[in-house]
Amino acid sequence: MQRAYLLHSRPYQEHKLLIELLTESQGRIGAVVRVGTSKAQRLKRALLQPFQPLQIELSGRSQLKTLSRVEAAAPALPLVGKPQYAGLYLNELCVRLLAEGDPVPCVFDGYHQSLLGLAKAEPMEPTLRYFEWLLLDALGAAPSLQFDTQGGEIEAKGRYQLVPQQGFEASQLNEPGANYSGQTLESLSARQLTPEQWRESKHLLRQLLSPLLGDKPLTSRALFQPRKGDSSD
């Protein structure tokens, strides 16, 4: 058996679910699971919820596996409100960006730690940024945070423009949104973003993720939009 989390599920044929899993040893995997009326099948369905740490066993030789066994590895992580939306955002990123069947243990571990942080009410913004960067790095799409396009070291007092598929280029401009502070790049690399750097790092990560995600919007981002008449935020 291996550790896993449910990323997404939908009905599939009669008394079945088509599920997407993030697994420790096989990466993102699609599987079918029977969820009929027997006690064992009802229990299986009850366990297949987002943010529930799982131990699973898959069978089958085709690309679409069968979930033959599932157990709770630990209690479900209590994500409610914005932390829940953040967790669903991480799920959608994994479904959209990870190739099926490509083992990425570092992403699984990073995902697990991110959920733990969200469940402990740790600051949400840096938690999301660190996972986004980890995912980009695992995909080979993360530019160097140590050196610019000319081979010079990134300097905390410098400003840098992101050149697609090349990296960061030293810039003489000081225009937030058009280029980035060297201090923010260093803090992202060291996983020590300050609240003052959250907005800039969010803009950077969106710029990096955009070419990979394409034109189809992330549905989970809409959950963060304030609802009409909602004055709680």
Give the pLDDT confidence of 81-130 residue by residue, as tens digits.
999 999 999 999 999 999 999 999 999 999 999 999 999 999 999 999 99
Predicted structure pTM score: 0.90
Give the pLDDT confidence of 187-224 residue by residue, as tens digits.
999 999 999 999 999 999 999 999 999 988 888 877 76
Per-residue confidence (pLDDT) for residue 221, from 0 to 100: 73
**Structural domains present in the chain:** 2-72 (2.40.50.140), 143-200 (1.20.1440.120)
119: nearest Cα among 156, 83, 147: 83
Query: CA dist 85 to 51, 122, 124, 220, Å?
Result: 11, 14, 10, 7
Give the pLDDT confidence of 5-38 residue by residue, as tens digits.
999 999 888 888 999 999 999 999 999 998 877 7
Identify whether the C-beta of residue 139 lies closer than 8 Å to the C-beta of residue 59.
no
Identify whether the C-beta of residue 154 lies closer than 8 Å to the C-beta of residue 185.
yes
- In this prediction, residue 231 has a pLDDT band, given cuts at 50, 70 and 90, of very low
Mean of pLDDT values over 50-65:
94
